[in-house]
Amino acid sequence: MSYGIRLRHSTLTNVMFTVPIPSIPFAAAQDKCPTCQVPHQVKTVHLWLDDVGSVIVSEGVLGTLNKAWPSELSAVNRVQTPPAQTITQSRNGHFEQKIQRARIQAWGV
Amino acid sequence: MANGAFNNYKNVLWGGNTANFAMVDFDLDTIKATLVDHGVDTPAQATDEDIADITAGARIATATLGTKTIGVVANGTIDAVDTVFAAVSGASVESFVVWKDTTVEATSPLMFQFDTATGLPVTPNGGDITIQWNASGIADI
């Protein structure tokens, strides 16, 4: 049974707050971040602040933030049952497009 | 990298590199998805071949794909029910990979990597994280 830690930003609400971690540079070049639309050079924690400036993070994320803790953030409390999260798979730029292209080329079309 | 298949898997798919990897029987083999922290290791579709090529510390959570199908959503298409990672407590995640688990990491081929999806990068909150596979299936040829 895991738990989350609720953080609160001192001024911002309803916005994504990013925290770059300079001590964790990416070893390999990154594509554009699908959220920020820019390639990050270092590990960057994305915090979606709600309407009161709160966000719940895992222990692991808290550990990352501790490497570059922003002064505007404070830990509020422990959350025993954090809400579920979803990643929705995208099919653009996908494997099958390359295969289909190869097939068309093989057919001489 | 964009979403795509690992180069080694493209060869395995056609029966190549059999000295190191058996072909993947998608609906019968154990297929897993793993959330990856690029701050520790960024998967390289061009050169990474098996799950051992992704540093263990970068693997934030792993779950097994259930109710897998071939050719049901559409001809040549693989699919599965949505995959749930229970109570994820690790660092933030920039991509996820799909791979076949042979129980030996060095012979467990990496199949696909997805670094572009709604919800990525994901910042775990200690709760469950679900990958909602595309309605058109995970991949097709």
Those residues with Cβ within 8 angstroms of residue B51's Cβ, 6 or more apart along the chain or in another chain: B34, B59, B97, B99, B101, B105, B108, B110
CA–CA gap between residue A78 and residue A74 (Å, rounded) = 12
**Which of B94, B119, B125 shows the shortest C-beta gap to A58?**
B125
Q: Is A24 on the interface with B (CB under 8 A)?
A: yes
Per-residue pLDDT of chain B (141 residues; tens, 9 = 90+): 689 999 999 999 999 988 899 999 999 999 999 999 999 999 999 999 999 999 999 999 999 999 999 999 999 999 999 999 999 999 999 999 999 999 999 999 999 999 999 999 999 999 999 999 999 999 988
This model of the complex carries an ipTM of: 0.92
CA–CA gap between residue B70 and residue B68 (Å, rounded) = 7
Question: Measured between alpha carbons, how far apart are the two ends of chain B, in Å?
Answer: 20
Cα torsion angle, B25, B26, B29, B35, sign: positive
Q: Is A46 on the interface with B (CB under 8 A)?
A: yes
CA–CA gap between residue B112 and residue B45 (Å, rounded) = 8
Phi/psi of residue B46, each to 5°? -75, -30
- From the CA of A7, how many Å to the nearest CA of chain B? 11
Q: Which of B26, B45, B77, B92 to mutate to test the interface with A (most CBs of A within 10 A)?
A: B92
Closest residue, chain B, to A21 (C-alpha)? B39
CA–CA gap between residue A108 and residue B138 (Å, rounded) = 28
For the entire predicted model, the pTM comes to 0.92
Q: Is A69 on the interface with B (CB under 8 A)?
A: no
**Which residues of chain A lie closer than 8 angstroms to B129, CB-CB?**
84-87
Query: Counting one residue from A and one from B, how many pairs have CB atoms under 8 Å apart?
Result: 162
Are A85 and B119 a contacting pair, CB within 8 Å?
Answer: yes
**Which of B41, B130, B141 shows the shortest C-beta gap to A96?**
B141
